Amino acid sequence: MPLDLTSDVVTLTAALCDIESVSLSETTICDAIEAALRPLEHLTVTRIGNTVVARTELGRGERVVLAGHIDTVPLTDPPNLPTRRLPTEQGEVLWGRGTVDMKGGVAVQLRLAATVPEPSRDVTYVFYEGEEIESEFNGLLHVQEQRPDLIEDADFAVLLEPTGAVVEGGCKGTMRIDITTKGAAAHSARPWNGHNAIHDAADILGRLTAYETRTVVVDGLEYREALNAVSISGGIAGNVIPDRCTVSVNYRYAPDRSEEEAVAHMHEVFDGLTFEVTDNAGGARPGLDLPAAKAFVEALGTEVIAKQGWTDVARFQAMGVPAVNFGPGDPNLAHHDEERCPVDQLVAAEAAMLRWLADGHATPGAGR
């Protein structure tokens, strides 16, 4: 069913969520977004893979980017779709995969694209694929590599990731490493003929358990680091001593460390062990001292806190575009089996962005 951009932001969020779009399966939702935006005469629309970029070309004195990823993590079993509107003691919520991370933010973008044909600033809307998985699949990276001109002329960017409708500055870096222990296979009835690689993983787990994480203040915001095993695998049969075991570790590091410094720290933590870096995306300093960021924070009048996860504000920073996170949904419920977003938060996030962009050109609920 086509997306109706004149519907209210809650209905539109539900419609987006109900188009299943687990990472690497974003074609259907990208088709729907492109089809909804193409008829809007005030936008120039470009598609790169399963990423859509839509731009106003009004000659305003400032250009801003509003960006959001269209993929989600996998569904639960049984699936947490289709979406449902549920009453709670705190008010009505929209329940289901993507309601927090981050179809609500995408719905806000689409509503603004449709209802504000003459924004006070030129706007570049980016709807991109592959954020929830390895960086190589990230649609924003693909735009950066293939058509950087679509983004690099911006003065400021807002990533509509879930923040509970407060402004979150910067983000932590994220790195994944695989640490492999090697043994010797043998029959489990005669283990002395081999060496158990899974038992050797106790050293890795012991270091992780004993590790003391840092809390770091960067540009006035507090970032809490984290180092955790996220998976472990080994063994080929119930009667074979395993000759190999791999522990995957995720390190979330404060933005005062570069990607190279984070790798060096992992060599300190796992001294004497060999590991492979499978993914490493650096963080971003808050940058709230920059004029465009200050103006956004002042316009919204919300609290400013540190972003504890990784988001593509880091990628914008690498392109020379200062960026912040702001969007509906509690980030603590992102990827949760009971993922859900307060209905009034979706409405409030749209209203806040509309105040910033409309400047008298449009009113909530208006449609093309």
Spot the catalytic one: 131, 200, 243, 312. Answer: 131
Is 260 tagged catalytic? no
CA distance 115 to 8: 11
Query: How many Cα atoms occupy the beta-carbon half-sphere of 81 within 13 Å?
Result: 18
First to last CA, the chain: 19
Residues in the chain: 368
Q: Give DSSP secondary structure letters for 7-51.
A: S-HHHHHHHHHTS--BTT--HHHHHHHHHHHTT-TT-EEEEETTE
Spot the catalytic one: 71, 101, 129, 330. Answer: 71
Count the helix, strand and coil residues of the chain and give each as a percent rounded to the nearest 5. 30, 25, 45
On whether the CB atoms of residues 161 and 105 are closer than 8 A, the answer is yes
On whether the CB atoms of residues 94 and 346 are closer than 8 A, the answer is yes
Is 132 tagged catalytic? no
Residue 78, judged by CB atoms within 10 A of its CB (0-12, 13-18, 19+), counts as: exposed
The residues carrying an active-site annotation are 71, 131
